[in-house]
Structure 1
Amino acid sequence: MLDTTRMFTLCEVAKHGSITAAAAALGYTTSAVSQQIAKLEKEAGQPLLERHARGIMLTDAGRSIVKHTERILIELEAADAELAEIQGLRAGELAIGTFPTAGSSLLPLVIKEFKTHHPGIDLRVLSGRFAQLVDSLRRRETELSLLWDYEWNRIDDPLLTYHHLMNDPTLLLVSEKHRLADRESIRITELRDESWVVRADDHPVAHTLERLCQQGGFTPRTSFLAHDYGEVQAMVGVELGVSIAPRLAVLNPRPDVRSIPLATRSPQRRILVAHLTERRLSPAAQAAITLCMAAARRLEEGFADT
């Protein structure tokens, strides 16, 4: 195996036309450069320089090594330039995981700002369920992921680091024609006799509803199992039942649906951005975390103004 440092030394000798001139350019002694060339010739198994009265010339083997060394130098310069682009957020890629309600509310704010300030970064987004998002982080398919948890089911994964972005309270959804539609808040006990539109497939909001109704001393009577919040709002709007939803899920409510705060303490989920603890974050990921925090603050300020 040829020593690359010695190959670079041979390039300098070829460039300057003599060992003495190459030594001066490199800041070495002439003897040190001669020793490096001798060792390189031993590695190559043949002479690399021919010495003449008027100086030195490269042998065929020497010219071959110089040619390949120049290619290596070009690649190294390209690598330096690419690293500078990545460090300066002018190149590279970033993969972010998200869940649907964050993907339709918080994340678009982040992406808009990110693409404005860092258009050279290739941004990819994976939307999925909680387990899929965590698995993608562990497999390094994504570098960051938006996640959520409730106080009775906190995320406790030692492999992940979390940044708390905001709290997302639970709201009651009723038809605009519902007897309580004009209320500013509603107690869960006032809904004992209602039918409920419930999220299907063992959805976390279904568990939240169970806990709420237990606090109110009753079991919810299900009228419809919905597979997304579009179905939830549609069924509530036609008075098939009432429902609950995280606030981020109903930022754009249907005109025939009212979202009303709970009078008692509302269950809140934390919205988080997570990454592998052991993974050194790219500059792009660090910038995205900052933008996530700023977007969450803007959302909460908007909620406070309404």
Structure 2
Amino acid sequence: MTFDVRRMLLLAEVARHGSITGAATALNYTPSAVSQQIGRLETEAGQPLLERHARGITLTEAGRGLLAHAERIERELRAARGDLDELAGLRAGSLRLGTFPTVAASFLPLVVREFRRRHPAVDLNVYSARNAGLLDMLAGREVELSLLWDYEWRRLPEDSLEITHLLDDPTALIVSASHRLAGRRSTSFAELAGEQWIVRADHPVAEVLTRSCHAAGFEPAIAYRAHDYQEAQAMAAVGLGIALAPRLALTSLRDDVTTVALGTRGPARRVLLASSRDQRPTPAARALRALFTSAASALLSMRTPLDQAVRQFPGC
């Protein structure tokens, strides 16, 4: 036996008003339309639900039994609407965000702090991985949004991703405080042909180094293969070589090293915020995307090197 839920809710309305006419007036229906729907519900029930008399109606025993279920359905629907309103108003819910290490240690905390201040009831969970892992998380819906990066020679697929370009993260040169280039505002790869290099082992910045040196006409001489940027800074500090790093990886700079810009021809990666095209964004995801966009615009408006802008950003 199946029941049309809308007719059950109509039965509850008739019981509440004590008559078919009263229910029809409240719902802006005609009495005949209400009576017809109740008749169909009685057919579904297989027995009378109402007893009609001069003063209105009373419910039969079957009608009272079905009314109890109808009222329970009404309560559940009100609760469902309340839950959805809470989510829409960012007074409840959760959000899963992917990120990569260098942006998690620099730009991301600015946005997380503001999101939690504005929407403390939303449970924000953040997962860190490399690009390949983050793309897998997006595809598997383990995260709703993810920070990603790419370079001009290897763009991310925009056919499957909804991508927001937040900012460009230029590559900088790390040298010891006593290096011949220390104190220079900028240099070019043509000036670096005779240098020894410290490079991140098995890391995309190694490809940035190789491509940039080849474009300048020389092969980089590798003196040390580091496993993180702090290690690369330490080796640069003692003069073992010089290193490349994205600006966002340099917000915690050692006192015995300095950075030199590589000018407009230096490679820069795009920092992106992405979601799957086939997944509709939740209100929380839309709010977080807007915060990322506004924070990136504020950083760029400071017109200082990106690592310095992050350190100087209000609230840091």
CA contact (8 A) 2:102 2:249 kept: yes
Change (3 A) 1:264 1:24: closer
CA contact (8 A) 1:187 1:264 kept: no
1:255 is aligned to: 255
Cα displacement string for residues 72-115 of structure 1 (whole angstroms, at most 9, x for unaligned residues) = 11121122222222222222222221111111111111111111
CA distance in 1, matches of 2:220, 2:28: 83
Shift of 1:52: 5.8
Q: Normalised by the size of structure 1, how large is the TM-score?
A: 0.91
Residue correspondence of structure 1 range 39-58 to structure 2 within 5 A: 39-51=40-52, 55-58=56-59
Q: Judge which range, 267-276 or 218-227, deviates more.
A: 218-227
2:267 corresponds to which letter in structure 1? P
Q: Judge which range, 208-217 or 245-254, deviates more.
A: 208-217
2:129 is aligned to: 128
2:312 is aligned to: none
Shift of 1:264: 6.7
CA contact (8 A) 1:171 1:259 kept: yes
CA distance in 2, matches of 1:127, 1:64: 54
CA distance in 1, matches of 2:168, 2:6: 56
2:9 is aligned to: 8
Change (3 A) 1:297 1:54: closer
Shift of 1:189: 3.3
1:97 is aligned to: 98
CA distance in 1, matches of 2:65, 2:235: 76
1:163 is aligned to: 164
CA distance in 2, matches of 1:53, 1:186: 97
SS at match of 2:269: strand
Shift of 1:195: 2.3
Change (3 A) 1:48 1:187: same
1:24 is aligned to: 25
Shift of 1:267: 0.7
SS at match of 1:212: helix
Amino-acid identity (%): 55
1:226 is aligned to: 226
1:291 corresponds to which letter in structure 2? L
CA distance in 1, matches of 2:27, 2:191: 85
CA distance in 1, matches of 2:229, 2:12: 67
Shift of 1:134: 1.5
1:174 corresponds to which letter in structure 2? V
CA distance in 2, matches of 1:210, 1:28: 75
CA distance in 2, matches of 1:291, 1:223: 42
CA contact (8 A) 2:20 2:56 kept: no
Change (3 A) 1:296 1:53: closer
CA distance in 2, matches of 1:128, 1:303: 30
1:300 is aligned to: 300
2:150 is aligned to: 149
Change (3 A) 1:217 1:21: closer
Shift of 1:175: 1.3
CA contact (8 A) 2:181 2:260 kept: no
CA distance in 2, matches of 1:189, 1:93: 50
Shift of 1:128: 0.9
CA distance in 2, matches of 1:215, 1:232: 23
2:191 is aligned to: 190
1:280 is aligned to: 280
Shift of 1:153: 1.6
CA distance in 2, matches of 1:75, 1:52: 32
Q: Normalised by the size of structure 2, how large is the TM-score?
A: 0.89
2:84 is aligned to: 83
Change (3 A) 1:25 1:200: same
Shift of 1:249: 0.6
Q: Judge which range, 240-249 or 54-63, deviates more.
A: 54-63
CA contact (8 A) 1:166 1:296 kept: yes
2:311 is aligned to: none
CA distance in 2, matches of 1:46, 1:73: 23
Which ranges of structure 2 fall in alignment gaps of 5 or more residues? 309-316
Shift of 1:54: 6.0
Q: Does 1:64 align with 2:65?
A: yes
Cα displacement string for residues 38-79 of structure 1 (whole angstroms, at most 9, x for unaligned residues) = 211111122223446765432332222111111111121122
* CA RMSD, Structure 1 to Structure 2 (Å): 2.1
CA distance in 2, matches of 1:128, 1:220: 28
Cα displacement string for residues 270-289 of structure 1 (whole angstroms, at most 9, x for unaligned residues) = 11111222332222222222
